[in-house]
Amino acid sequence: MLILGLNLGLHDGAAALFDGYRILGAVQLERLTRRKNHGNGYARECVDELMSMAGVTPAEIDAVCFSRAFVETEYLKLGLRRDLNYRLRRTFGKDVFKEIAGELVRNDLMDPADIVDVDGLKASYGLRPDAEVSFANHHLSHALSALFFSRGENTLVYTADGVGDNVHYSIGHANGAGLENFYGDDRWLYRDRDINSLGLAYGYVTQALGFRMNRHEGKITGLAAFGEPDLLTDFEKHFALDDGGVVTSDFSSHHEMRAYIETLSETHTKEVLAASIQRLLETLIVKSVTGFLARTGADSLALAGGVFANVALNRKLAEIEGVRNIFIFPGMGDEGLAVGNVLQYLLARDGMEAWNEARHPLENVYWGPSYSPQALEDLALDAGMHKIEGNPAEVAANLIRDGLAGAIYQGAMEFGPRALGARSILASPSDKEINNRMNERLGRTEFMPFAPVVLEEFAREVFDIDDVNAYASRFMTITCNVKDEWRERIAAVVHVDGSARPQIIDRATNPLYFDIISAFHDLTDVPVLINTSFNVHEEPIVCTPAEALRALDDDRVDFLVNEQGVYRK
């Protein structure tokens, strides 16, 4: 049974295609349109790409699973598309979208089919008239994407983000028999929205410091290590946990919260504000999670939602006493809803027992578009590039040993925000000064650390990796300490606080990637490389061979490597 999942939000548009419980592919809109975090309310480009990848047509799709985010106004019932705003914008060729969840609340309805012209919407995607349609709860989709691939049997499932279906968090407990929700399910859809979002507060800090909200929050995480949390007490006057263990605040509106943060930014350094919001986030989420772990007896954590892109927070959660394992879904942002929506449909269709039996750990997230190795070679040679003879992994390792930075471009691209060896820039971790050179070439911020990739057999020797964080470390969703004896040897990937965000790699997952690192280890006795995403600042990770070649031609990297060879100017 072919099932299509779609996130039609105004950011992080994405689509995923399943055959039953098996993922056939997942595509983020930004990779196709080249607009960072792009969401356009359609995601039809993603659907077209998935159909091409799987060799099927929309007419072969048996079910489609939408989030209750945005839909084109022309597919709404209730005459809403006749309003003045709609007619004016259509006159000037502009699209109009409505939030499904918001329309449900405004019209005191529960079933999205009472809001949406389902037949018209299906037809617009080329689906069969008899294709099933479901509309997913935002935070439940986040929760299920994390739970399905987690390893725990007694699991606290916690989600946190800007907002979705009227809430900023969901908290639940899964023990095999079912999933009990304590906060954030559809019972909250019709309540007054709580002004309690740490995700939005973090975003307002991002914006107040001159960065882009919903895009540059990772910069705040990096910057926080350079400051002291002198404003923590100020923040704690407004944020706390309620009697149920959920984050709350005394702000009357998000506008008031934003204005308060902007005022703080006028009198304090960027480093202090970043460190303070980071400490607030860690303190309250850790305290909330600790309380729910005690309440449920859970010993595992499954996390999703944009807040858990914060790798330093995830480390603090992994260090809570009694936590045996932690998993953060690699597509933790709203792009992950495309996957979670399908899992929500399957849970409703099959029930918890069958759904649990289908659960399995993730091997990789190489779910995106792929191109033949020959396509890159043909473009490179046509452009006058030079192919270096020899084993590609060994050639690349020698170039890296000699101080060059190259990009691996091979196979299906990664899903989610992290580059995991299909579209990665690789360099030696030994020279800390390479950070400045690479940041300048890529147009990136100087205080952001590069991440390491490490051979699996050496991971616990180099980093503080154990049974709790090892699984998460396969997907670069958590930081950990770098062991003292290695900090100077891999200085380029060690942050100012002695931490790093490693990726553990084994050969079965990605042979070429593994072989390059292994060959570098043979040359240097260092089983680690820099791994940073193959993109220029403010651009999505490269997708096509032409985009990869353009980076080489623009001197962003010194060479490209794939299964067939190494290419230089």
Helix, strand, coil percent content, the chain, rounded in steps of 5: 40, 20, 40
Q: Is the pLDDT of residue 100 over 80?
A: yes
Q: Is the pLDDT of residue 355 over 70?
A: yes
Helix (H) or strand (E) holding 16: strand 14-19
pLDDT computed for residue 85 by the predictor: 55
Residue reference for tokens 């709350």: 248
Q: Is the pLDDT of residue 129 over 60?
A: yes
145 phi and psi angles, rounded to 5 deg: -60, -35
Closest CA to 161 of 199, 130, 190: 199
Structural contact between residues 479 and 501, judged by C-beta atoms closer than 8 angstroms: yes
CA dist 521 to 394, 397, 435, Å? Answer: 11, 9, 20
Structural contact between residues 298 and 317, judged by C-beta atoms closer than 8 angstroms: no
- Whole-angstrom Cα distance, residue 430 to residue 407? 18
Report all structural domains of the chain as residue ranges with CATH numbers, in order of start. 2-136 (3.30.420), 139-329 (3.30.420.40), 373-568 (3.90.870.20)
Predicted confidence (pLDDT) per residue in 458-472, tens digit: 999 999 999 999 999
Give the CA dihedral 222, 225, 229, 231, nearest 10 degrees.
-30
Percent with pLDDT over 90 in the chain: 86
Calculate mean pLDDT across residues 20-43. 94
Q: Count Cβ neighbours within 10 Å for each residue of 278-301 and write b for 16 or more, e otherwise.
A: bbbbbbbbeebbbebbeebebebb
Transcribe 86-140 into DSSP letters.
HHHHHHTT---EEEHHHHHHHTT---GGGTB-HHHHHHHTT--TT-EEEEE-HHH
Calculate mean pLDDT across residues 118-135. 96
Most confident of the following: 73-82, 84-93, 149-158, 448-457: 149-158
pLDDT computed for residue 509 by the predictor: 97
Q: How confident is the model at residue 387 (pLDDT cuts 50, 70, 90)?
A: very high
pLDDT computed for residue 42 by the predictor: 84
More confident residue, 444 or 521: 521
Predicted confidence (pLDDT) per residue in 529-548, tens digit: 999 999 988 899 999 999 99
Residue reference for tokens 């909250």: 188
pLDDT computed for residue 284 by the predictor: 98
| 320: CB partners within 8 A, 6+ apart | 286, 289, 290, 293
Q: Is the pLDDT of residue 67 over 60?
A: yes
In this predicted structure, which of 58-67, 109-118, 127-136 has the lowest mean pLDDT?
A: 109-118
Predicted confidence (pLDDT) per residue in 232-252, tens digit: 999 999 999 999 999 999 999
Average pLDDT of the chain is: 94
- Whole-angstrom Cα distance, residue 150 to residue 136? 20
pLDDT computed for residue 177 by the predictor: 85
CA 167 from centroid of its chain's CA atoms: 19
pLDDT computed for residue 443 by the predictor: 84
Calculate mean pLDDT across residues 65-93. 68
CA 237 from centroid of its chain's CA atoms: 31
Angle in degrees, 0-180, between the axes of helices 270-296 and 198-208, rounded to the nearest 10: 170
Please give the DSSP secondary-structure letter assigned to residue 78: T
